[in-house]
Chains A and B, each alone.
Chain A
Amino acid sequence: MTSRDDQDRLVALLAPYRTHTAIAAADPEGDVAQELRTMIIDTPRPGTAPDVPQRRPSPWRRRLLIAVPAAAALTAGAFGATMLLPPADPGTAPIPVPVGPAPAQALEITEDGDYVEVRVVDPLADTERFTEELAAAGYDIELSLAPVEPSSVGTIVFMETGDVGGGRSIEIIEAPGECGSEYGGGIGPCDVGLRIPEEFDSYAHVVFGRAATAEEGGEGAPEGAEGFESDANPGDAPIVTPEQREVLNSLYGMTLGEARETVESHGWTYELRGMFDAENEAIEAGEVTDDWYVNDVATLAGGVVLLWVNEEDQHG
């Protein structure tokens, strides 16, 4: 009774249904549906949206490449920073933005027709400075940058916009290059700022991922740096030190029993996830056995290792 067909039949029986035939609402050619269609199609499409198929990351995984050379940040001991756009052509040099003392402004805010364009000038500025400068420009936008893993640099790790009533919303400014990673929404053009409609009066919260300084656990991190064991970098992409990365990489293909031993020997804790479980749902330890395989690994702040496990070794 639990064959596939039986299951589908049972689930189909659970579907709610309406007691009357809602012809007017259900007919795509009916008045109600056509009115909605007209209202939608009268809504201006984002000006930069292409009309041809193109790989595009999820809005929550947009990219902004902001690389912070760890050495410069350390030696300056302050906010010396460089933003780099990857070269349009792999053999050419990146486009540098001046390295030096902290800029007078954290953001570059310029006007372009009936849009305002915002680019981050000082990736290490306090979040309050971004928000203050956007507020001074008349926008209720909370913008921040969080240190993330190299594979997540240039990724928006959080984005939320309020209701714009069918009007224009915030767009992302793109620049030629190859940003992101195959596992973080795909490799594609770099997004380097926000393009905000002049009339935008809603709320937005945007968090860009940026490269971590050595102090935060990025490249050049001192031995024993806290990395993802720290609670200071909450979010879904905490920093992992090179030492920690080496251990985490070794978990791929291990049996769950081996992985558990390794994780615990470093004083970390772990949570189990179903393989390729996009919903990020935890599975209970009792649902799996120690001979299952680790197929993917991720981290959460506070020294938590997420292990995606499967009966088969599929990590490839």
Chain B
Amino acid sequence: MARAAPSPRSDPAARFDALYTACYRDILGYALRRTSQPQEAADVVADTFLTAWHRIGDVPPGDQARPWLFGVARRVLANHRRGARRHGDLAARLGAELARHPVVEADAATGELAEIGRVFRSLHDGDQELLRLVAWEGLDSAGLAVALGCSANAARIRLHRARRRFAKALRAAGVAADGLPAARTASSVTT
């Protein structure tokens, strides 16, 4: 999941190709895990990489490229939810392919896991997304900082606060995670 970012910088097309190959699967996974409709996920992927292509000169080098793309994907997703930009024509085939594979909501499960899902969704959206970026996308504080557009210190503070609020909410709900299955690996989510 945490692949190295592409390095060629002189040729925009070559740089985009390297970025696309290295991060496509991660961005697709990001979109699939946050949308309910296959076409919406496809649009998020298309718009994220379209933005990256248009702003290829802004993509940071090295390991920062991947969290930078997550930051773009966050904004694209937010815009989609406001009914803004859509490029269905770009992503029509991807959307159709994704539609062949139904999504299973993990927290639709019953019992303790369902309760954990309920507690998690009671958090602020921002806290939820911070915790998802860490647990689902594998970002550390430095990656969060790039994705959120803030300093690493600020990212650490925000993450600390989000973890504390989640722990408090779990305690208040009397949730214990003993006996829950081990987490699926992130790479199994979309492949």
Contact = CB atoms under 8 A, between A and B. Distances in A.
Contact of B135 (A11, A37, A46): A11
B142 interface: no
Interface residues of B, number: 84
B74 to A, nearest CB: 10
Contacts of A23: 191
Interface stretch (A12-20, A109-117, A173-181): A12-20
A245 interface: no
A95 interface: no
A277 B104 CA distance: 32
B2 interface: no
Interface string A160-190: 1111011000000000000000000000000
Given A2-B167, A18-B103, A274-B158, A41 B21 contact: no
B158 A22 contact: no
Contact of B97 (A9, A19, A24, A58): A24
Interface stretch (A27-35, A73-81, A255-263, A264-272): A27-35
A36 B96 CA distance: 13
A26 B25 contact: yes
Task: Determine the main DSSP class of B at the interface with A.
Answer: helix
Given A51-B56, A278-B150, A28 B184 contact: no
Contacts of A20: 100-101
A104 interface: no
Q: Which of A15, A27, A50, A165 has the most CB of B within 10 A?
A: A15
Interface in B90-129: 90-91, 93-94, 97-98, 100-107, 113, 116-117, 120, 124-126, 129
B97 A25 contact: yes
Interface in B22-55: 24-25, 28, 32-33, 45-46, 49-50, 53-55
Contacts of A90: none
A33 B184 contact: no
A2 B166 contact: yes
A58 B104 CA distance: 35
Given A10-B116, A16-B32, 12 more contacts: A8-B135, A12-B184, A13-B184, A18-B32, A20-B100, A22-B191, A32-B93, A33-B20, A33-B94, A40-B49, A162-B84, A277-B158
27 contacts: A1-B176, A2-B163, A2-B167, A4-B163, A7-B131, A9-B183, A10-B180, A16-B103, A17-B103, A17-B106, A17-B188, A18-B189, A19-B101, A22-B100, A26-B191, A28-B21, A40-B46, A43-B50, A45-B53, A52-B9, A56-B58, A160-B84, A165-B87, A275-B157, A276-B157, A278-B126, A278-B148
> Can you list the 3 inter-chain pairs with the closest CB atoms, starting with the nearest?
A279-B126, A12-B183, A276-B154
Interface of A: 1-2, 4, 6-29, 32-33, 35-37, 39-41, 43, 45-46, 49-54, 56, 58, 160-163, 165-166, 274-279, 281, 310
